[in-house]
Copies of this chain bind each other. A is one copy, B any other.
Amino acid sequence: MTVPPPPAAPRFEPRDPHWAEKVRASFERQSVMTLIGAALADIRPGWCEIRLPYREDLCQQHGFFHAGITATVVDSAAGYAGFSLMPPGSSVLSVEFKINLLSPGDGELLIATGEVIKPGKNLVICRGDAYVVKGMKTTHCATMQQTLMTMHGKPDSEETQK
């Protein structure tokens, strides 16, 4: 299979003109992304992609990506898909998520995508997916359903507040 591309036209209208830069700035502040070596590959209104190259120190006991690491990048991809649609002066919080591990995370690259299913005023519901690339083969290895909360009046950073 191949990783599904982002929607040709965004399904949703962002409410913050600085949606892309605020997502990139917030991602930069997620220190765990630096620790594991993840990169923000693409961001669109209601859609996000994060890439994580394989490293031997990201694994479970059989040498594959640990389910929690897969969950970490999918949670962030879906979270930033949601954050891209939130109004100025707000921040994003993961309320809960559920992830099914469809196949072992066996490969040299993990691609996590997130997209908004329903952008409510307070709660935003997202879907996330992970694909693992091994040589020429791409395998759908995880799928997530996630609930986010918009923290109105609590900007994501002090700088954003100015």
Binding site for B on A (CB under 8 A): 26-27, 29-32, 34-36, 56-62, 66-69, 71-73, 75-76, 91, 93-103, 117-118, 122-123, 125, 127, 140, 143, 145, 147, 149, 156-157
Contacts and interface: CB of A to CB of B under 8 A. Distances in A.
- Chain A contact residues: over half helix, strand or loop, or mixed? mixed
B61 A32 contact: no
A106 B127 CA distance: 24
Q: Which one of A29, A68, A97, A147 has the greatest number of beta carbons of chain B within 10 Å? A: A68
A118 B97 contact: no
Nearest to A35: B57
A30 B69 CA distance: 12
